[in-house]
Amino acid sequence: MAVVGRPLHHENELVERARRGDAAAYEELVRLHEHVAYRTALVFSASPADAQDAAQEALLKAWRALPRFRAGAPFRPWLLAIVANEARSRVRAAGRRAGRERRAFALEPARAGEPPDAAVLVRERHAALAQALAALAERDRTVLALRYLLELSEEETAAALGCRRGTVKSRVSRALQRMRTSMEVAR
Amino acid sequence: MTHDELRDELRALGGEVAWPPTPDLAGAVAARIARDGVPAPRRRSWAPALRPAVVLALLLVLVIAGIAIVPPARTAVLDLLGLAAREQVVRVPRLPAATPSLRRGPDLGRRVTLARARAAVSFPVRVPTALGPPPEVRLSRQLAGGAVTLLYGNRHALTMFRGQGEPFARKLVGPRTRVVETTVAGHPALFLTGAPLQWIALDRSGIPVQSTARLVDANVLLFDAGGVGYRLETSAGLRGALAIARSLRPRP
């Protein structure tokens, strides 16, 4: 999934302008990061609607917090930390209420040009993989989702989880090991 | 499989998960900043929630289920949309057979006065001022908490009900039915249009009750507000349906 490819020079300039109160620059900055911000919120949220609310509220909080943003620091990890915090705190608050909500999920069509035999093999492998991932404890699933499904960097994953990079490494390693074990048992 | 191979597989799996479309966050944030200056936090009063990461788990389940259920090579796309878990919209490649039926089907319940309906249910029965007083009101007890339908001839039917957490109905839409995401007074809404769709009631465990499957040959606007679900079946288009929904009084 494409959540990278940001021209840093341009981004730094936007951050500086936004820090001085330029709302148009901040809108452009948000445009650069809204996909990854929303998907990060989805990983923590109970529904796409909640993720949307959390991401939007977090982006407004980030706007208010921009004067405290350290000039020259990477912007995306800072932003994702705010998004993840907001999504987590909403889930905690909502956890006290009963109820359920389900929304929008979908499968993408098969990629064109994929040979049928290969497609079948890939499909079966991905089904097993998705099953093993879904069966993991939430803590393991979250770190793997951020790191590999969203392809966040270690630094960004650490920011979203509110932990150190070293902790991300060890949590990823343990989660991968548990996933491998469960897949071997399932064979 | 080594850790490196597993990492690669997970990255590839990331491409299989069809994330919900990203909303226009930049536009929404810019509008809030322009409107409020420094915006105040907003709380959703109507949206209950589950434990964390449910969306991700559901995404993964759908990957598994889709791979297992959807025809070979996954040429079919399966969408599942729901509103506060009360009604779900499922896109399927082909609609199953169902009896074309009337909006005045027995599931709408017995005919009552508006005052009687208001006294019988615990949620506010709202009337769209755009349509005026309803010529006919129906009260159903099939759902816990009841459901009230305002009928305006064959042109409009507005049903209100209080959901109890679990889905109670599923709408199947074929490829020719458009599903438009919109809002009514700030509440997420779905507008279904373009081709007949099938309405299936679910029992308490979520199993379809096939005997009540029916085709709906009308546009449908679904939304939730204040813990109450609204289903407007109408001959009006999106703009007309929204005008009707936004004219509900008292406001949802």
Question: What's residue A115's pLDDT?
Answer: 41
Whole-number mean pLDDT of chain A? 78
To the nearest whole Å, the CA of B234 is away from the closest chain A CA by: 23
Q: If you average pLDDT over each of A46-50, A56-60, A91-95, B23-27, which comes out highest?
A: A56-60
Q: Is B51 on the interface with A (CB under 8 A)?
A: yes
* DSSP calls for A89-146: HHHHHHTTS-------EEEPPPPTT--HHHHHHHHHHHHHHHHHHHHS-HHHHHHHII
CA atoms within 13 A on the CB side of B135: 8
Contacts of B81 in chain A (CB under 8 A): 103-104
User: How far is it, in rounded angstroms, from Cα B210 to Cα B172?
Assistant: 12
- B32 φ, ψ to 5°? -65, -40
Full domain range(s) for residue B142: 3-249
Total-model pTM: 0.50
- A108 φ, ψ to 5°? -80, 150
Query: If DSSP codes are grouped into helix, strand and coil, which group holds residue B213?
Result: strand
Q: Is B85 on the interface with A (CB under 8 A)?
A: yes
Q: Is B59 on the interface with A (CB under 8 A)?
A: yes
Closest CA to A160 of A146, A139, A176, A171: A146
Sign of CA dihedral B58, B63, B69, B70: positive
Of the pLDDT bands very low, low, confident and very high (cuts 50, 70, 90), residue A138 is: confident
Residues of chain B with pLDDT under 50: 39-53, 62, 64-80, 84-85, 100-106, 205, 210-211
Question: What's residue A100's pLDDT?
Answer: 32
Domains parsed from chain A with CATH numbers: 8-94 (1.10.1740.10), 116-186 (1.10.10.10)
Question: What's residue A90's pLDDT?
Answer: 84
Closest CA to A46 of A106, A94, A9: A94
Can you tell me the ipTM of this complex? Answer: 0.82
* Region at A23 (left for phi over 0; alpha for psi -120 to 50; beta for the rest): alpha
| B102: its two tokens | 């009337």
Strand partners, A107: B17
| A38: its two tokens | 């929303």
- Binary contact (B58, A105; C-beta < 8 A): yes
* Region at B198 (left for phi over 0; alpha for psi -120 to 50; beta for the rest): beta
Of the pLDDT bands very low, low, confident and very high (cuts 50, 70, 90), residue A113 is: very low
A143-180: pLDDT as tens digits: 998 999 888 999 999 999 989 999 999 999 999 999 98
Strand partners, B198: B172, B215
- Binary contact (A138, B52; C-beta < 8 A): yes
Of the pLDDT bands very low, low, confident and very high (cuts 50, 70, 90), residue A137 is: confident
Q: What share of chain B is helix, strand, coil (3-state, %, to 5)?
A: 25, 35, 40
Sign of CA dihedral B223, B229, B233, B234: negative
Interface-testing mutation among A4, A47, A125, A150, with chain B (most B C-beta atoms within 10 A)? A47
Kindly report which listed range (A26-35, A89-98, A102-111) carries the lowest average pLDDT score.
A102-111
Number of structural domains chain B divides into: 1
Interface-testing mutation among B4, B60, B168, with chain A (most A C-beta atoms within 10 A)? B60
